[in-house]
Amino acid sequence: MTTGLEHSAFLKAARGEAAPHTPVWFMRQAGRSLPEYLKVREGIGMLESCMNAELITEITLQPVRRYGVDAAIFFSDIVLPLKAVGVDLDIVPGVGPVVANPVRTLEDVAAIPDLTPEQIPFITQAVQALVGELGSINGGTPLIGFAGAPFTVASYLVEGGPSKEHAKTKALMFGAPDVWDALMRKIADVASVFLETQVAAGASAVQLFDSWAGALTPGDYVRHVQPHSARVLARVGELGVPRIHFGVGTSNLLDLMGEAGADVVGVDWRTPLERAIPLVGDRGVQGNLDPTLVFAPTEVMTARAAEVIEAGRAARGHIFNLGHGVIPSTDPDQLARLTDFVHGYGV
């Protein structure tokens, strides 16, 4: 464990050890809900921000300073590693990632270069700077490394942009399994290097984020997706850091996502923790307050948060979080109240 983080409630819970309090952090805590974020990002594109070590550092630190959460999440984007290797893509405001030349053939897959740590020096620089800064905040705050899971990244590459149906993605998966397998192996390698680089620079845990895995049946997940996510998680697991695996709408996949190699399974707000915990086995859980509850009266929000905390006690370890990312219009003061409530609950 990184020096100075021996008493981290987040790392203790992630490892299934007794924690002094329920740890809390929020997915997308560094982002559009914070006025300080909007100020530093003014006039700067998303991917440009994600390739600037000073901006990455500042944005990652902002919610830790403001809320006193138990972990920082590395500020990046799912498609950033692809941009780093030269894939022609951009993040279009109001749309999302848009890929100029979608993947259709083995030749298209072969044209995607492998990622090396030398291509992402800004990642190493930012992580090292963050670890230095975070070491003096709240007695030491761990940094969570971040990457998109192979299926979700593949979906952007095949669809050419965001999709609700993932029809082209599934058509390739079912109709050209050789191309699909090659693409997933390529992305798994890229994601592994991206996470390994963050851990080598000092990240204390990682989260593999599979936004669109909920579009799959369990059988298709096992055949076409799980082996590739497992490769990423296995490689990072060799580095000895806790691994969180999260997907949206994945109530039918929670057991399989855990079996892919997670130490902690993220649960979205649709599945109560009392249902999720028996499915994930001897693993921790993360979640899972409905992100819209921050718009409710404070007493309603905290009452529901208490239910989540109580349900989480049945798990090997519980990390409190929202059941998905912070909504951009969220009042930061309400998240501060929620953080304080979780920290003080039952202590």
Instruction: Tell me the torsion sign for CA atoms 236, 237, 239, 240.
Output: positive
Question: Distance (Å, rounded) from C-alpha 244 to C-alpha 15?
Answer: 11
Amino acid at 322: L
Neighbours of 94 (CB within 10 A): 4
What are residue 266's DSSP bridge partners? 246, 286
Is there a contact between 208 and 229 (Cβ–Cβ < 8 Å)? yes
Is there a contact between 269 and 288 (Cβ–Cβ < 8 Å)? yes
* Rg (alpha carbons) of the chain, rounded to whole number: 19
Neighbours of 291 (CB within 10 A): 20
Question: Distance (Å, rounded) from C-alpha 88 to C-alpha 160?
Answer: 11
- Give one DSSP letter per residue of 24-90, joined into a string: B--TT-SSTT-HHHHHHHTT--HHHHTT-HHHHHHHHHHHHHHH--S-EE----TTHHHHHHT--EE
Question: Distance (Å, rounded) from C-alpha 292 to C-alpha 269?
Answer: 10
Give the residue numbers marked as catalytic. 28, 32, 41, 77, 156
